[in-house]
Copies of this chain bind each other. A is one copy, B any other.
């Protein structure tokens, strides 16, 4: 199974792509720090200071303005994440998919938690790109 989420944002695809790839921008809507620019083949260290999280991702493919594919997690918990950026009606649809989940009722709680994170991030991205607001990203409580 996969977790998906999609957001329509009034910006062009390159702006949305760059918000993820540029380590100076990601702190406005998602992680507090990204170790370097996201490019194909690179390992990126991500930190979410406010949630006490820190880990690496492996960027499998980064196609500017089009899509990013990366792995995160280890072993049986390794997931493939895909971000796509599609121009539509003068805006951009940003789609997230996190795949390689087993379809299992014991997975439900963890899937719901990650689903929360994806939608929260995409909504914060919309507020950042459309309104210049970067203060939402610490509001979600992971209880």
Contacts and interface: CB of A to CB of B under 8 A. Distances in A.
A3 B130 contact: no
Interface in A1-57: 1, 3-9
Interface stretch (A58-66, A68-76, A134-142): A134-142
A123 B119 contact: yes
A133 B131 contact: yes
A104 to B, nearest CB: 6
A79 to B, nearest CB: 15
Interface residues of A, number: 35
A80 interface: no
Among A4, A9, A130, A136, the most chain B Cβ lie within 10 Å of the Cβ of: A136
Among A3, A115, A133, the most chain B Cβ lie within 10 Å of the Cβ of: A115
Among A5, A124, A139, A143, the most chain B Cβ lie within 10 Å of the Cβ of: A139
Contact of A6 (B112, B119, B140): B140
Interface in A92-129: 93, 103-105, 107-108, 111-112, 115-116, 119-120, 122-124, 126-127
Contacts of A104: 105
